[in-house]
Amino acid sequence: MKESEIYEKMKKAIIEGNKDESERLAKEALEKKMDLLKVIEKGYVQGIQRVGELWEKGEYFLPELIASAECMKGAMNIFEPEIKRAKIKTKFLGKIIIGTVEGDIHDIGKNLVAAMLVANGFEVIDLGADVKLEKFVQKAEEMDADFICLSALLTTTMLGQKRIIEIIKEKSIRDKFKILVGGAPVNQKWADDIGANGYAENAMAAVRVAQALIEKKK
């Protein structure tokens, strides 16, 4: 089978959310000692990009997005040991620190956003739920992150998003990070009022906002 045919199959597996097939093809790529960067770029990434388009057209819904993101993750997990061993330099679109702010233990929405960002080529460090505000800032500095993504599901905890922006302003590092906010009570107006760089109302929108901000930075 030609390499281009394998790439097509990988793309198809991601689009269809077929985890078994996507992982089988990943193993096959390793056995055939294919160029993993090409495999990721021409096969899997093409698939996830198509999934995003189908979602934007209204043909795919959140479960299909997640199924595809799971396939992507499964394949990447298979490649990871070889990528490390061969010291292959994978390209990430940007580094993201994500978490649900202090006082709030909701984390499903945040998990979905994180999964979609990973599937779309971002490096994501997930701090979990109920994360101390200072920890976001400390971790973002330590990891030299591009983004801090803050989730809040309560009107009482969304204030934490505002406070983090204040903290990084006080430390004179506001320009170092792009702040994205999301969560049920959050909207674009809130994001504008607190001076966040972006707001996303769902997982795919978070990917698009992050992609646009990275593009702008270039």
List interacting residues with another protein (CB under 8 A). 17, 58, 61-67, 69-70, 73-74, 77, 103-108, 111-112, 115, 154-157
For another protein, the closer CB: 17 or 198: 17
For another protein, the closer CB: 63 or 86: 63
From the number of C-beta atoms within 10 Å of its C-beta (0-12, 13-18, 19+), residue 78 rates as middle
Please state the closest distance from residue 197 (CB atom) to another protein, in A. Answer: 25
β-partners of residue 36 are none
SS3 62: helix
Please state the closest distance from residue 11 (CB atom) to another protein, in A. Answer: 19
The torsion angle over the Cα atoms of residues 92, 141, 124 and 130, rounded to 10 degrees, is -170
Cα 50 to Cα 17, 56, 71, 110, 200: the distances in Å are 12, 10, 14, 23, 20
Please state the closest distance from residue 85 (CB atom) to another protein, in A. Answer: 22
Please state the closest distance from residue 20 (CB atom) to another protein, in A. Answer: 12
For another protein, the closer CB: 176 or 187: 187
For another protein, the closer CB: 104 or 146: 104
